[in-house]
Structures are given as C-alpha cells and as structure tokens.
Amino acid sequence: MTDRTDDDALEGAGIDVSRRGFLRTASLAAGGAALGGAAAAQETPDPLITDVQDWASATGEGVDATPYGLPIRFEGDVVRRTVSWLTADPISSINFTPIHALDGTITPAGCAFERHHSGAIELSKDDYRLMITGLVDRPLVFTWEDLQRFPRENHVYFCECAANSGMEWGGAQLNGAQFTHGMIHNMEYSGIPLRVLLEEAGVQPEGQWIYVEGADASSNGRSMPIEKAMDDVLVALTANGEALRKEHGYPVRLVVPGWEGNMWVKWLRRIGVTHSAVEAREETSKYTDLMPDGRARKWTWAMDAKSVITSPSPQKPITHGTGPLVITGLAWSGRGAVTRVDVSLDGGVNWQEARIGTQGGKYALSRFYLEIDWDGSPMLLQSRATDDTGYVQPTKDALREIRGLNSVYHNNGIQTWAVYENGAVENVEVGS
C-alpha cells in the first residue's frame, strides 16, 4: 500500500490488485437457498402473534429518554463506510453514503457522505466570519447574526463528488452501490442567494469570476464564473431543516446546484471577486480530467445525468426468493431535471421505462421503481437516466471511447449488477 497517494488514490481509475483489501472468498460462493414462493402456507401458528410480546404488555421509553435520537439499533447497517486503501490518511479522504439502504430522495444528514481535505473542523457561529473582497465597491465582513437577516430560499439539490464512481473507470472494482455511487447526498437547504450578498458588496464590471474558500487549513479554494454565482448558488445555513452538520460545513457552506461537489465549499469564509480564474490547486492538480492525448479538461463543473439501481445491489441481495421483486434506484442530472429512467434486466439489450416515485426538480435526486415478477433467472440489471436536455446516460464503454481510462472524475456510465440464481448480486461489466 505504498504507491497510492491522497487524492490520486481516491481518483485512482485503474484496478490495482496489489492494493486489494481484505480477502472475502466466502461471500458470494457461500450462496443461499432461495426461499419458497409467495403466500406460502403456514402450518403452525406464529408465536409472535399468538404469544403476548413484551412490547405489547410493558412500556417503552419515556419521551425524555432521547432529546436527539439516532436510528434504532437494528439499522446498524445504514452507516457511512470508508475504503481505507483509497487515501493516504483519513483526514484528506472520503466516505460513502449507504444509498443501498435508503429510499425516497432525502439523505439523512447523519449518514450523508463526507469529503474533507484537512478534516472536519469545529467552527462556532460566534467565531464565524464571512468576507467579500476583491472587485467590489465595498469589501464586507458578515457575522452569523448578519446572515440571519437576509431573505432566504429553500431548495433540494444533490451534492455529488466529482470522483463518485471514479474507481470504476478501469473496470468493476468495488462491490456495492455505496462504494461505487455513494459519494452523493441530497438535502433540502435553506440559504441566501449568493447574488444577494454580492449585490450588498457591489460587484464591479470587471469582476468576471469569484473565488470561494473555506476556513479550514486546506481552504479548498475554487473559481467560478460570475454568471453562475449570480444565478442559483446558495450560501446555505441549514440542511434538512436543521443546522449543517459539522462535517458538512457548519455553520455555513456553499451550495452549487448541479456542479461537482468539490465546489460546494464548506465552512465558507471568503468570496473574492476577481478578473479571472485563480487556477487554484483544486482546479489544476485536482478536478481536471486527463484525456487520451495527454491533455486534460479543466473546469468540468456540471455533473452529467446518471443513475444507479440501489436495490437489488451487492449490499442488498435478494433474500426473499422468486416472485414479486421491487427494483429501485436513484437518478439525477446536473444539467436539469430527470425526465425518465429506463431499466434493463438483460445487460442493455432490452429496456423498459421505470416508474418515477419522487420526481426530483432541477439538480435533485429522483427515485425510480420497477416492479417485476422474478423467476429466479440470472439478470444483468442496468438503469439509464434521461434529463430534460435530452441527454441519455451513456455506457462506460461509450465514455471510455472518448475519454480513455485516466480522466479520474465524472464517471456517469451505466452501472451493471449481475443478479445470480441464489439472489446474490455483484458489480460487473458486460460486453458482447
């Protein structure tokens, strides 16, 4: 484990068997007999029904037991997970949202993924300051109290790391939707349009870019065209109804709808209005996408249309046998709203349109479902999102044909899950 470095690892597109994790030979080989079909006859009465259970007799917890609760202990599976070999240390690193276990579209903040470059810092509202500098009529300092007094808006948006699925460029590598697609969360934000704060300072005509940076040691400075800043960027004060979690930028983060997660600067402390892009580390060394000719794309801000089936998936095998099966997943686009999702059971040869459960708005997750009657045959499950620009999610091979294997970021290729006869599910790639 000596040659994978920091973000290079996180970005590592290729398969490298020298860096494998723990051997898990038992998992899929062990298999499991599929249980009987639906509505099977019950021969003896169920004691969970015929016996009086404790919870139907004694009392539960009082209302003062849990001022702020956590999920019930049986949901211990629904947690963030890390992949330790991805990065040199856990400080500048990533973890993954358990999307395999969630439904609907709103991500619970407590298990929503984290990506830090110098750790999750603790910054109180009292200590918080936001500065606007540069090509403005009046450079300003705001306190947290000041920010409370600006008009606010509410919006639901996804935040997807540019490196989400990046480890899959070279082939199927990590076995689970949490790991292949879990650098994402989707929250309802309340916040101040960045435009309002910029207007308070008065942007000068030559101010064509902004540079945003955080209060942490990494600073995570990024440049953004003034048009985006004046359009829909939010200075967010809450997420999912409450203050931001420490690890998500408490007390203030930037929300940049549709654009790569790196630009969602946390612990936001300064907005500089500049004549041109700063070309900081996070937009030169990182978050640039190497192409086959040895040159690299820069400023690949938008996250293209993408989807993934969250169940069944490797962490959500089919344990109930044949018969009715709910196939469900998430779809999103950084260029607009998802308009449809198609699902294939045979690796992309034939498709059927899925049903949209929650229709996400622009730059928000949508939930889709396809209910089938599973006969126990192996399947190659895929989902394919279309957005309101008419863009149809491409296959990984279609992306590789253009970008090669080393672009690191922006892998929105179609995911395939192999479902085996025993209900186990595996991350695979397919070809004819």
Partner 1 sequence: AAAQTLNLGRTALPEEIAAWDVAVEPDGTGLPVGSGDVLTGEDLWVENCAMCHGDFGEGAGAYPVIAGGEGTLRDRRPVKTVGSYWPYLSTVWDYVHRSMPFGNAQILSADETYALTAYILYSNGIVEDDFVLSNENFTEVPMPNAEGFYADDRVETEFPLFTAEACMADCGPAVHITRRATDLQSTPEGAVTVF
d(CA 146, CA 210): 21
Give the nearer residue to partner 1 in terms of CB position, either 269 or 367.
269
Provide the 3-class DSSP secondary structure of residue 96: strand
**Residue carrying structure tokens 């005509």:** 205
Structure tokens at 331: 């779809």
CB 37 → partner 1: shortest distance, Å? 18
Site for partner 1 in 338-357 (CB under 8 A): 342, 346-352
Structure tokens at 55: 């919870």
Give the nearer residue to partner 1 in terms of CB position, either 156 or 254.
254
Give the nearer residue to partner 1 in terms of CB position, either 7 or 240.
7
26 binds partner 1 (CB under 8 A): yes
380 binds partner 1 (CB under 8 A): yes
Site for partner 1 in 391-430 (CB under 8 A): 391-394, 398, 402, 405-406, 418, 423-424, 426-430
* Per-residue interface string for the shown chain with partner 1, residues 282-301, x marking contact by CB under 8 A: --xx--x-x-xxxxxxxxxx
| Pairing of the two strands 129-134 and 93-94 | unpaired
Give the nearer residue to partner 1 in terms of CB position, either 22 or 55.
22
38 binds partner 1 (CB under 8 A): no
Handedness of CA 89, 266, 254, 134 (dihedral sign): negative
CB 152 → partner 1: shortest distance, Å? 13
269 binds partner 1 (CB under 8 A): yes
d(CA 120, CA 117): 9
Give the nearer residue to partner 1 in terms of CB position, either 25 or 57.
25
CA 204 to chain centre: 36
Give the nearer residue to partner 1 in terms of CB position, either 81 or 245.
81
The secondary structure of residue 264, as a DSSP letter, is: S
For partner 1, which residue of 384, 400, 409, 419 counts as binding (CB under 8 A)? 384
Site for partner 1 in 58-117 (CB under 8 A): 81-85, 87-89, 91-92, 117
CB 367 → partner 1: shortest distance, Å? 20
Longest dimension (CA), the chain: 81
Site for partner 1 in 201-260 (CB under 8 A): 202-205, 211, 213, 217-219, 221
120 binds partner 1 (CB under 8 A): no
For partner 1, which residue of 272, 329, 334, 360 counts as binding (CB under 8 A)? 272
Give the strand order in the sheet containing 379-387.
352-353, 338-344, 379-387, 416-419
Neighbours of 69 (CB within 10 A): 8
d(CA 327, CA 341): 12
CB 211 → partner 1: shortest distance, Å? 6
CB 20 → partner 1: shortest distance, Å? 5
Contact call for residues 374 and 253 (beta carbons, < 8 A): no
b/e string for 399-410 if b means 16 or more Cβ within 10 A? bbeebbebbbbb
Structure tokens at 410: 């922006």
Site for partner 1 in 298-317 (CB under 8 A): 298-302, 304, 314-317
d(CA 364, CA 358): 10
- For partner 1 (CB under 8 A), the number of binding residues is 133
CB 350 → partner 1: shortest distance, Å? 5
Task: Say how many residues make up the chain.
Answer: 432
For partner 1, which residue of 78, 109, 133, 336 counts as binding (CB under 8 A)? 133
Binding part of the chain for partner 1, among 13-21, 57-65, 158-166, 323-331 by CB under 8 A, reads 13-21
The secondary structure of residue 400, as a DSSP letter, is: H
102-262-226-155 Cα dihedral, nearest 10 degrees: 20
